[in-house]
């Protein structure tokens, strides 16, 4: 089956991301306009840009998504919770939270659980747990996914994109872990339409990428 036979509207999967530290307000404005124009589910920006994005998108469909503990996940739980709460106060309705990888690898599952569960319960918003699959074994990926599922997240997310990207194999594994109960977000290194379609076929329900416009262009070219 070719990708053009799938009849997938790729725009409905894209979290339109601007996560370079040097981003300026004009770039934030641009990604918000693009997210609205192309009907993307969300725009994903740093916490410092949340208020601006909310003002730009207050009466439009795209949600305002931001990242918490990004990109390492190695700040304290109190800092992550405050960052998440402040982001929500400023207008974010989706929170992509990096888990504490050191705790996971040290076998301190209870700490990983409590941190994520508290953010879920205290904010009441959509939480996507970033597992950073590129630095985990399959056993650790499965453990992290199960912990976050129990903690109440709405999505398991593969990667920040800083230490490696999404793979079809990892998306399949996260899909298996979720058993269809929550979403799977593939993120990191998504550059081509064919790659995006393969990730969707594997079970991704969201795609985090800064190349959303390129993917739309490639999709349009493929169906000409």
Q: Which residues are catalytic?
A: 96, 157, 185
Backbone angles phi, psi at 66, to 5 degrees: -140, 170
For the segment 92-138, what is each residue's pLDDT rounded down to a tens digit? 999 999 999 999 999 999 999 999 999 999 999 999 999 999 999 99
Burial of residue 87 (CB within 10 Å: 0-12, 13-18, 19+) is: buried
The CA-to-CA distance between both ends of the chain, in Å, stands at 17
**For 5-40, what is each residue's pLDDT tens digit?**
468 999 999 999 999 999 999 999 999 999 999 999
Q: Which residues pair with 18 in a beta bridge?
A: 45
- The per-residue pLDDT for range 43-99, each reduced to its tens digit, is 999 999 999 999 999 999 999 999 999 999 999 999 999 999 999 999 999 999 999
The answer to whether residue 3 scores a pLDDT higher than 90 is no
């Amino acid at each position: 089956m070719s990708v053009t036979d799938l009849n997938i509207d790729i725009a409905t999967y894209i979290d339109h991301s601007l996560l370079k530290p040097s981003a300026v307000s004009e770039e934030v404005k641009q990604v918000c306009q693009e997210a609205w124009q192309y009907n993307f589910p969300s725009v994903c920006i740093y916490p410092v840009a949340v208020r601006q994005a909310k003002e730009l998108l207050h009466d439009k469909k795209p949600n305002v998504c931001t990242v918490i503990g990004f990109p390492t996940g190695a700040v304290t739980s109190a800092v992550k919770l405050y960052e998440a709460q402040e982001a929500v106060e400023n207008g974010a309705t989706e929170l992509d939270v990096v888990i504490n990888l050191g705790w996971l690898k040290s076998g301190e599952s209870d700490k990983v659980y409590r941190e994520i569960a508290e953010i879920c319960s205290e904010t009441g918003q959509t939480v996507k747990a970033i597992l950073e699959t590129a630095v985990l074994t399959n056993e650790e990926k499965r453990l992290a996914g199960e912990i976050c599922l129990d903690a109440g997240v709405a999505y398991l997310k593969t990667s920040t994109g800083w230490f490696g990207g999404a793979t079809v194999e990892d998306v399949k594994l996260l899909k298996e872990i979720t058993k269809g109960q929550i979403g799977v977000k593939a993120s990191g290194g998504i550059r081509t339409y064919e790659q995006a379609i393969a990730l969707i076929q594997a079970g991704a329900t969201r795609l985090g990428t800064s190349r959303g416009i390129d993917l739309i262009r490639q999709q349009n070219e493929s169906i000409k």
